[in-house]
């Protein structure tokens, strides 16, 4: 089974210098499709999850998968009252397969550290282990999906599927089926359509983070679709897959907002304070300057108060190459070994993944104004309160 290593490959593909270039290149070749389970196997797996009479609990159930992911596959079904459902069924023996692949990953990381890498990967490895293990628990994912429904309840342009708890277990997640087309189908759509989709994506990722300290850490193109209204207009963004979700301490969220504000003011002391909130308490001068290069690149679109694309005229192939190269050279010159705090991993992944979607769409927006509106009433205590209440409401404890 290649599911777990595909998931690890997806996580590592956006973290510069996390692995040697040849390892990273091989992981990035992995496709997001795993060999499907056959009909007989699916029947046995469904019986294991819902019991011998599982088939009687559905009006229809398609034994052929509608989609495949890294840890399971999705089957289209229909409830007894006629609602179309998506049943995500986990591949067998995934827990042991994940542990085997994580052990191999630890070995690769260990070897890489001995090669005087610019980045110390120990915290990265810890974070990946925690998040991948969480993805195995579909009961937890159901609670996170409910949390997203709560967080995005006032955002009508983003849809979160409803969960059917009575048809779900730790390894089977049954939810509302949301029709939509792949984002890539809209790459040639009118500019206003592409811009509307980009606004929806921004809201889906950044509003939960800035208001609740929660971020969807797996922003690859398969985790959302675009729904139309039948008149050629975009009606909503459908957001899927809530296994890889990171819940942050409110203090870290404050650090992210502070970093943006410090960059806007070009205030070095404030920048240092923001990095400390992120988990970078002691930076040498060279490392500090390297971090600033990376921060200005990541925050570039939201620092610039004008309508622009995410890449702003730079080709997709070259986007970020110069900045990443400058950062790595500066870190190596300072002796390397920068310890990356675990919270950094999924924030960076989400930022880069979302930026990639904006690039695919060629969206032209004033990202600065969007971000300013999102943080207009930002307050760390309010984030802590919302997060605590939200987690309690859905029964999720961290």
Mean pLDDT computed over 233-252: 93
- For residue 259, tell me if it sits in a domain: no
* 8 Å CB contact between 252 and 278: yes
Domain span holding position 106: 3-159
Q: pLDDT tens digit string along 161-185?
A: 999 999 999 999 999 999 999 988 8
**pLDDT over 90 (residue 242):** yes
Most confident of 4-13, 25-34, 183-192: 183-192
* Residue 167 parent element (H or E): none
What's the mean per-residue pLDDT of the chain? Answer: 86
What is the pLDDT, as a whole number, of residue 14?
A: 47
* 8 Å CB contact between 218 and 244: yes
Distance of CA 1 to the CA centre of its chain: 23
What is the pLDDT, as a whole number, of residue 31?
A: 42
**pLDDT over 60 (residue 73):** yes
Cα–Cα distance list, 244 to 66, 222, 252, 349, 388 (Å) = 21, 13, 18, 11, 19
DSSP 155: -
* 8 Å CB contact between 50 and 57: yes
β-strand pairing of 181-182 with 224-228? antiparallel
- For residue 149, tell me if it sits in a domain: yes
Mean pLDDT computed over 335-344: 79
Mean pLDDT computed over 3-31: 52
- For residue 254, tell me if it sits in a domain: no
Percent share of the chain, pLDDT over 70: 86
- For residue 390, tell me if it sits in a domain: no
Q: How far apart are CA 368 and CA 310, in angstroms?
A: 11
Q: Of residues 281 and 230, which shows the higher confidence score?
A: 281
- For residue 10, tell me if it sits in a domain: yes
- For residue 187, tell me if it sits in a domain: no
**pLDDT over 80 (residue 26):** no
What is the pLDDT, as a whole number, of residue 324?
A: 74
Q: What pTM, to 2 d.p., does this model score?
A: 0.88
Number of structural domains (the chain) is: 1
159 forms bridges with which residues in the sheet?
A: 238
**pLDDT over 90 (residue 47):** yes
- For residue 165, tell me if it sits in a domain: no
- For residue 237, tell me if it sits in a domain: no
């Amino acid at each position: 089974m290649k599911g777990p290593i595909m998931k690890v490959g997806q996580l590592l593909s956006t973290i510069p210098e996390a692995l040697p270039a040849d390892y990273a290149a091989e992981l990035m070749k992995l496709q997001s499709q795993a060999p499907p389970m056959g009909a007989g196997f699916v029947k046995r797996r469904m019986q294991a999850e819902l019991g011998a009479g599982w088939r009687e609990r559905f009006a229809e159930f398609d034994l052929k998968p509608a989609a495949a992911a890294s840890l399971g596959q999705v089957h289209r079904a229909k409830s007894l009252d006629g609602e179309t459902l998506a049943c995500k069924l986990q591949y067998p023996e995934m827990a042991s397969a994940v542990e085997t692949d994580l052990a191999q990953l630890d070995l690769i990381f260990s070897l890489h550290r001995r090669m005087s890498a610019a980045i110390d990967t120990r915290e990265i490895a810890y974070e990946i282990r925690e998040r991948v293990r969480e993805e195995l628990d579909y009961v937890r994912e159901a609670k996170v999906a409910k949390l997203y429904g709560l967080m995005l309840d006032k955002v009508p342009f983003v849809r979160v599927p409803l969960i059917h708890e009575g048809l779900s277990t730790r390894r089977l997640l049954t939810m509302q089926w949301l029709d939509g087309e792949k984002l890539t189908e809209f790459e040639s759509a009118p500019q206003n359509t592409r811009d509307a989709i980009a606004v929806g994506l921004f809201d889906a990722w950044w509003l939960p983070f800035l208001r609740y300290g929660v971020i969807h850490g797996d922003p690859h193109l398969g985790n959302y679709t675009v729904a139309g209204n039948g008149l050629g207009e975009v009606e909503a963004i459908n957001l899927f897959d809530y296994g890889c979700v990171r819940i942050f301490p409110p203090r870290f969220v404050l650090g992210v907002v502070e970093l943006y504000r410090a960059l806007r003011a070009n205030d070095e002391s404030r920048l240092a304070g923001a990095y400390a909130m992120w988990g970078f308490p002691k930076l040498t001068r060279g490392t500090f300057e390297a971090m600033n290069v990376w921060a200005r690149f990541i925050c570039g679109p939201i620092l610039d108060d004008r309508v622009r694309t995410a890449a702003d005229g730079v080709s997709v192939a070259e986007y970020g190459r110069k900045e990443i190269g400058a950062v790595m050279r500066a870190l190596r010159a300072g002796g390397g070994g920068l310890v990356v705090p675990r919270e950094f991993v999924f924030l960076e992944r989400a930022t880069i993944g979302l930026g990639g979607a904006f690039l695919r769409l060629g969206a032209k927006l004033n990202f600065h104004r969007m971000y300013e509106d999102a943080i207009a009433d930002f307050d760390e205590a309010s984030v802590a309160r919302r997060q605590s209440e939200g987690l309690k409401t859905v029964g999720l404890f961290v």
